[in-house]
């Protein structure tokens, strides 16, 4: 142990105290031993440190910070170095705000387009997500502070996220849902990891010994800290045994007492606690050193310009019929759409940043050189229909050469704690587009949203520019693409299906009441669409440019692939070349192609460059469930170089020696997986894959409610008070939405409706303890007077106990 001498000076109570938060955002300190508290802040794309007291759950406005493009946006740049640069600037701002641990990046897979938090995640592909995350981490930690990669793991939906049980086969877990975390640990060398709320195959993630010990600590050799998601601790002692150092937020010392009791009873050896303390101390002391160096406030203007550069490189040109873009000099444009006036630039929830500067389209026209003849709102932001706005927009559009139509999803549609209800953009925006098409067919749509949407209207636009959520400088960045000052170079980090029903997880999202089954296994995103030959709207890796690129002269050897890339157009630009690999063997089911490398390269018009993409330890591997380790099939592999997953330009083959592992599957029992048609797998076939029966996915309504049951389950509680409370919560949600307070309605759904009863104690900073929760559960289970008496008695006991400690 690194801090053995210091730990030997601590009492058992002091050691246990370090294992939970001091308040909502800080770890505990021990003044007599020179151990300071750490400040942890949200920050996947900008520092969210609120000016209010640290015991507040983070609903206040944060201190101004640069709002960079979200992870979903930056992933479209396919530029690891750019990710590292963002990390460096995030780290610099964290230092300025005295933050030790930055809670990000998020590397969960985009299993389904409707996940409400997809805007915070990089990709449907674990290799791309992992590489981008590693860049962020290196940048953040270059300042001495810590990144905290989240949410570990298989947290791919927001509905019932604190109680849902994710049922996934071991191979899909390793190849799809853990690979990005593995890259973050091994290449990014993250100092901290955040465990997710959900169960994984029956066990809460931060208590899961297979996940936390066998894989994270054992296989990956992780030496850093594991921090719970806020309120995500279930059994504190079981979590400690699994190697979970820090429970957040504060429980006012209640869980510390559970640890002390477990050690005194012999359930836990004190050496286990010492190891956890040692790892936490290392995080405290190494991040504290960052504040011993002289530092100044960050340069607001400079960081804003960096945010603009990032957005410019991440914007994706999806359609450019008749070369309508870039806009020709002197063309008169009509600017239409509410998002042109008030930019949609970030998501909602814990990642909400208070920007230092905020560009809006209407304020940036003069410098862009684009001639605007006027602006009309066109539609109500939150979906209300308004015929007069459409009429005014059409009158303006009649007089324009080109219509710039700003459409997308609003702030409360994509939010933490809630999944989207559909893949469509609001109907009132589509009605506006249809009306505009009748008067002017030269329409360029500028799309603002953080995740994939359906586009049945795409034939009515000549140009489509997807800005995703471009941060505080996104509006200006889009204008620079439209004007031709910048050549677009972004490519999609996720597939856009034609219809939501085409997605491989359609039949199994968001799952049942108690569990969600990942029956599609390894076939998510393009892995499914390409293998099952399902047509898509825009494939993974797709994006247009104002120039063209030619690929030639492929050469493959055991170290990697080399080829030539020529800018065959008339404009300098950047191209993202992608390496995909396919095993020619049919012994083990595998996708038609898998991303195994990529490079982004700038090439002047007419120039040719030689490009090399090396192979690495992930190029040919697969996880063998029979040997329980990574293996390589001895066979021929197709090496494909493409401009997207559907646009393969060069192909060669190479034979790779295998590890000689036995075939892990019986092909006869898994026909859907061997055919790649895994969108609607039967329960029987899925059970053949996972090797056991699937758990019942419905709640047991005959049992009394317990700690891990949710407030939502009060609808069938025996106690009338609980049922009444449920209906009041539902009414409050409906009423707030009705009067336009959608953000407040979302908070009810996120913070109350899906909250497990234990969360009442875990998320209230000690205002309610677990014995008081026992009283609440008695009331919910039909014992009103007994429960109320217990609740009041335990509250008095808690108050008396705290008064005695102060004395």
Instruction: Kindly state the tokens that stand for 589.
Output: 């089911």
Q: Cα separation of 166 and 155, whole Å? A: 8
pLDDT grade for 8, boundaries at 50, 70 and 90: very high
Residue 701 falls within a domain, yes or no? no
| Percent of the chain predicted with pLDDT > 90 | 91
- Does residue 61 register a pLDDT over 80? no
- Does residue 224 register a pLDDT over 60? yes
CA 58 to chain centre: 19
Same domain as 123, residue 224: yes
pLDDT confidence of residue 555: 98
Q: Are 231 and 762 in contact (CB under 8 A)?
A: yes
Residue 380 falls within a domain, yes or no? yes
pLDDT grade for 60, boundaries at 50, 70 and 90: low
Q: Any bridge partners for residue 656, and if so which?
A: 635
Same domain as 458, residue 393: yes
Same domain as 589, residue 448: no
Per DSSP bridges, beta strands 402-408 and 371-376 are: unpaired
Q: Are 246 and 256 in contact (CB under 8 A)?
A: no
Each residue's pLDDT tens digit, 468-500: 999 999 999 999 999 999 999 999 999 999 999
Each residue's pLDDT tens digit, 600-621: 999 999 999 999 999 999 999 9
- Does residue 59 register a pLDDT over 60? no
Q: Are 548 and 565 in contact (CB under 8 A)?
A: no
Alpha helices in 513-622 (DSSP H): 526-531
Please give the C-alpha separations between residue 690 and each of 114, 179, 203, 631, 665, in angstroms, as whole numbers.
Answer: 25, 19, 16, 19, 11
pLDDT grade for 52, boundaries at 50, 70 and 90: low
Q: Cα separation of 740 and 746, whole Å? A: 11
Kindly state the DSSP code that residue 174 receives in the 8-state scheme: I
Mean pLDDT in residue range 633-643: 98
Kindly state the DSSP code that residue 176 receives in the 8-state scheme: I
Residue 242 falls within a domain, yes or no? yes
Same domain as 653, residue 740: no
Checking phi first, is residue 252 left (phi over 0); if not, alpha (psi -120 to 50) or beta? left
pLDDT confidence of residue 750: 85
Same domain as 339, residue 250: no
| Residue 759, SS3 per DSSP | helix
Nearest CA among 600, 342, 363 for reference residue 487:
600
pLDDT confidence of residue 36: 96
Each residue's pLDDT tens digit, 719-759: 999 999 999 999 999 999 888 888 888 889 888 999 999 99
pLDDT confidence of residue 367: 83
What are the phi and psi torsion angles at 757 (to 5°)?
-60, -35
pLDDT confidence of residue 253: 92
Same domain as 235, residue 87: yes
The CATH number linked to 99 is 3.20.20.300
Q: Taking all residues of the chain, what is their mean pLDDT, rounded to a whole number?
A: 95
pLDDT confidence of residue 741: 87
Number of domains in the chain: 4
Each residue's pLDDT tens digit, 70-95: 999 999 999 999 999 999 999 999 99
Count of CB atoms situated within 10 Å of the CB of 785: 9
In 467-593, DSSP assigns E strands to 496-497, 515-517, 536-538, 549-557, 560-567, 573-583
Q: Cα separation of 281 and 191, whole Å? A: 12
- Does residue 368 register a pLDDT over 90? no
Q: Cα separation of 758 and 769, whole Å? A: 9
Same domain as 731, residue 686: no
Instruction: Residue 356: give the domain boundaries.
Output: 306-491
Which of 457, 491, 525 is where one domain is finished? Answer: 491
- Does residue 57 register a pLDDT over 70? no
Count of CB atoms situated within 10 Å of the CB of 5: 8
Which of 491, 508, 537 is where one domain is finished? Answer: 491
pLDDT grade for 349, boundaries at 50, 70 and 90: confident
Same domain as 724, residue 675: no
Please give the C-alpha separations between residue 734 and each of 93, 393, 730, 802, in angstroms, as whole numbers.
Answer: 39, 32, 6, 39
Each residue's pLDDT tens digit, 434-446: 999 999 999 999 9
- Does residue 651 register a pLDDT over 60? yes
What sign does the dihedral 197-203-209-211 (CA atoms) show?
Answer: negative
- Does residue 293 register a pLDDT over 90? no
Same domain as 363, residue 284: no
Same domain as 737, residue 672: no
pLDDT grade for 626, boundaries at 50, 70 and 90: very high
Order of all β-strands in the sheet with 515-517 = 203-204, 199-200, 165-167, 515-517
Residue 627 falls within a domain, yes or no? yes
- Does residue 252 register a pLDDT over 80? yes
pLDDT grade for 806, boundaries at 50, 70 and 90: confident
pLDDT confidence of residue 446: 98
Residue 475 falls within a domain, yes or no? yes
The CATH number linked to 678 is 2.60.40.10
Nearest CA among 326, 371, 303 for reference residue 486:
326
Kindly state the DSSP code that residue 735 receives in the 8-state scheme: H
Residue 582 falls within a domain, yes or no? yes
CA 111 to chain centre: 11
Instruction: Kindly state the tokens that stand for 529.
Output: 């669409």
* DSSP state letters, 170-191: HHHIIIIISHHHHHHHHTS--S
The CATH number linked to 454 is 3.40.50.1700
Same domain as 455, residue 405: yes
Cis peptide before 9 (omega within 30 of 0): no
Which of 473, 491, 509 is where one domain is finished? Answer: 491
Q: Cα separation of 347 and 706, whole Å? A: 33
Q: Cα separation of 711 and 162, whole Å? A: 11
- Between CA 16 and CA 24, with CA 21 as vertex, the angle to 5 degrees is 165
In 168-296, DSSP assigns E strands to 192-195, 199-200, 203-204, 225-228
Give catalytic residue positions. 229
Give the DSSP H or E segment for 655: strand 647-656
Checking phi first, is residue 154 left (phi over 0); if not, alpha (psi -120 to 50) or beta? left
For 219-240, give one letter per residue: b (16+ CB within 10 A) or e. eeebebbbbbbbbbbbbbbbbb
- Does residue 56 register a pLDDT over 80? no
Question: Residue 130, CB half-sphere, CA atoms under 13 Å: how many?
Answer: 23
Q: Cα separation of 589 and 581, whole Å? A: 14
Intra-chain end-to-end CA distance of the chain, in Å: 36
| Percent of the chain predicted with pLDDT > 70 | 99
Residue 666 falls within a domain, yes or no? yes
pLDDT confidence of residue 296: 74
Instruction: Kindly state the tokens that stand for 654.
Output: 């190479």
Residue 241 falls within a domain, yes or no? yes
Instruction: Kindly state the tokens that stand for 267.
Output: 């359930």
pLDDT grade for 467, boundaries at 50, 70 and 90: very high
Each residue's pLDDT tens digit, 525-567: 999 999 999 999 999 999 999 999 999 999 999 999 999 999 9
Same domain as 117, residue 32: yes
Instruction: Kindly state the tokens that stand for 580.
Output: 């995909």
Q: Are 501 and 387 in contact (CB under 8 A)?
A: no
Q: Any bridge partners for residue 194, and if so which?
A: 227
């Amino acid at each position: 142990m690194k801090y053995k001498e210091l730990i030997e000076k601590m009492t058992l109570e002091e050691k246990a105290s370090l294992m939970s938060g001091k308040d909502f955002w800080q770890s505990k300190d021990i003044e007599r031993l020179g151990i300071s508290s750490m400040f942890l802040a949200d920050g996947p794309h900008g520092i969210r440190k609120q000016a209010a007291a640290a015991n507040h759950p983070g609903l206040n406005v944060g201190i101004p910070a640069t709002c960079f493009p979200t992870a979903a946006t930056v992933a479209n740049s396919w530029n690891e170095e750019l990710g590292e640069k963002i990390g460096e600037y995030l780290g610099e701002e964290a230092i300025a705000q005295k933050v030790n641990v930055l809670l990000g990046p998020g590397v969960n897979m985009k299993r389904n387009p409707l996940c409400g938090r997809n805007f915070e995640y990089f990709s449907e592909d674990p290799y791309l997500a992992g590489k981008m995350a590693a860049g962020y981490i290196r940048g953040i930690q270059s300042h001495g502070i810590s990144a905290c990669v989240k949410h570990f793991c298989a947290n791919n939906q927001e509905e019932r996220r604190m109680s849902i049980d994710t049922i996934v086969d071991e191979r899909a877990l390793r190849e799809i849902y853990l690979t990005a975390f593995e890259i973050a640990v091994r290449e990014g060398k993250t100092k901290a990891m955040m465990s997710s709320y959900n169960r994984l195959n029956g066990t809460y993630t931060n208590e899961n010994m297979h996940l936390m010990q066998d894989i994270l600590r054992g296989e990956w050799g992780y030496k850093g800290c594991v921090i719970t998601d806020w309120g995500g601790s279930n059994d504190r002692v079981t979590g400690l045994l699994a190697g979970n150092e820090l429970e957040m937020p504060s429980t006012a010392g209640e869980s510390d007492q559970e640890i002390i009791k477990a050690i005194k009873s012999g359930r836990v050896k004190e050496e286990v606690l010492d190891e956890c303390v040692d790892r936490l101390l290392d995080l405290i002391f190494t991040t504290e050193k960052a504040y011993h160096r002289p530092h100044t406030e960050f340069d607001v203007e400079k960081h804003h310009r960096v945010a603009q550069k990032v957005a410019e490189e991440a914007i994706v040109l999806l359609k450019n019929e008749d070369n309508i873009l870039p806009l020709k000099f002197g063309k008169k444009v009509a600017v239409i759409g509410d998002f042109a006036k008030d930019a949609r630039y970030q998501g909602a929830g814990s990642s909400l940043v208070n920007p230092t500067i905020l560009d809006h389209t209407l304020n940036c026209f003069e410098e862009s050189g684009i001639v605007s003849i006027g602006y009309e709102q066109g539609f109500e932001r939150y979906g209300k229909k308004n015929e007069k706005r459409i009429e005014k927009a059409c009158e303006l559009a009649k007089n324009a050469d080109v219509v710039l139509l700003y459409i997308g999803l609003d702030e409360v549609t994509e939010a933490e704690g809630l999944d989207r209800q559909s893949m469509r953009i609001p109907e009132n925006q589509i009605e506006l587009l249809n009306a505009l098409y009748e008067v002017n067919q030269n329409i360029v749509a500028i799309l603002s949203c953080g995740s994939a949407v359906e586009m049945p209207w795409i034939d009515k636009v000549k140009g489509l520019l997807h800005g995703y959520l471009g941060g505080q400088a996104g509006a200006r960045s889009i204008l620079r693409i439209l004007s031709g000052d910048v050549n677009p170079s972004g490519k999609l980090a996720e597939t856009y299906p034609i219809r939501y029903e085409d997605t491989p997880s359609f039949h199994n999202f968001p799952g049942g009441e108690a569990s969600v089954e990942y029956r599609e296994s390894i076939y998510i995103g393009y892995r499914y669409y390409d293998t099952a030959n399902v047509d898509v709207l825009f494939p993974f890796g797709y994006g247009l440019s104002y120039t063209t690129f030619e690929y030639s002269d492929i050469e493959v050897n055991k170290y990697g692939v080399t080829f030539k890339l020529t800018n065959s157009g008339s404009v300098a630009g950047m191209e993202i070349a992608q390496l995909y690999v396919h095993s020619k063997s049919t012994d083990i089911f595998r996708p038609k192609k898998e991303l195994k490398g990529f490079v982004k390269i700038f090439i002047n018009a007419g120039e040719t460059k030689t490009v090399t993409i090396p192979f690495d330890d992930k190029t040919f591997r697969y996880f063998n469930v029979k040997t329980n380790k990574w293996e390589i099939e001895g066979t021929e592999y197709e090496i494909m170089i493409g401009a997207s997953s559907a646009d393969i330009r060069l192909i060669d083959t190479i034979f790779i020696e295998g590890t000689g592992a036995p075939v892990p599957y019986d092909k006869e029992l898994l026909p859907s997986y061997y055919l790649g048609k895994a969108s609607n797998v039967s329960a029987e076939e899925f059970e053949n894959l996972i090797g056991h029966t699937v758990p019942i996915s419905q709640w047991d309504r005959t049992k009394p409610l317990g700690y891990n049951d949710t407030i939502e389950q009060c609808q069938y509680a025996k106690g009338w008070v609980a049922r009444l409370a449920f209906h009041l919560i539902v009414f409050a949600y409906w009423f707030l939405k009705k009067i336009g307070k959608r953000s407040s309605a979302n908070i009810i759904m996120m913070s109350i409706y899906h909250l497990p009863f234990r969360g009442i104690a875990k998320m209230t900073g000690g205002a309610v303890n677990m014995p008081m929760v026992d009283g609440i559960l008695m009331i919910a289970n039909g014992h009103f007077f007994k429960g109320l008496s217990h609740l009041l008695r335990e509250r008095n006991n808690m108050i008396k106990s705290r008064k005695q400690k102060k004395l």
